[in-house]
Amino acid sequence: MSETNTTQKLRFPSSTLMTTFPSYIFFAGISFMAIRVILNNYGVEGEEWRVVFASVGLFLSSLFLIAPLWAKAYVKRKLGTQKKAE
């Protein structure tokens, strides 16, 4: 087994980071606006639909922000398991 296989790290090209960073800012902004809508309209009669849609938007944007980190941790764990099996 070579040294490079045992010290392999999970890395993404910098071009991938540069193309996804603006989308992270966009979805973070959507999350912030959704939280603001929820706080301003919670308990206001007739505005329940705004709270529901903002909650769904917050959930979906949170998934977009968290999913890449979760996937990276999952792949890293799988690589560690494969190394232990070898």
Q: Structure tokens of 68?
A: 């890449």
| CA-to-CA dists, residue 25 to 8, 18, 32, 37, 39, angstroms | 30, 12, 10, 18, 21
Question: Is 51 within the bounds of a domain?
Answer: yes
Number of domains in the chain: 1
Its pTM stands at: 0.55
**Structural domain boundaries enclosing 52:** 15-85
Question: Is 36 within the bounds of a domain?
Answer: yes
Going residue by residue through the chain, which has 86 residues, state the pLDDT in tens, using 9 for 90 and above: 444 554 556 565 555 554 566 777 888 888 888 899 999 988 889 888 999 999 998 888 888 878 877 888 888 888 877 777 77
Question: Is 9 within the bounds of a domain?
Answer: no
Do the beta carbons of residue 34 and residue 59 sit within 8 Å?
A: no
Question: Is 5 within the bounds of a domain?
Answer: no
What is the distance between the alpha carbons of residues 27 and 66, in angstroms, rounded to a whole number?
Answer: 11
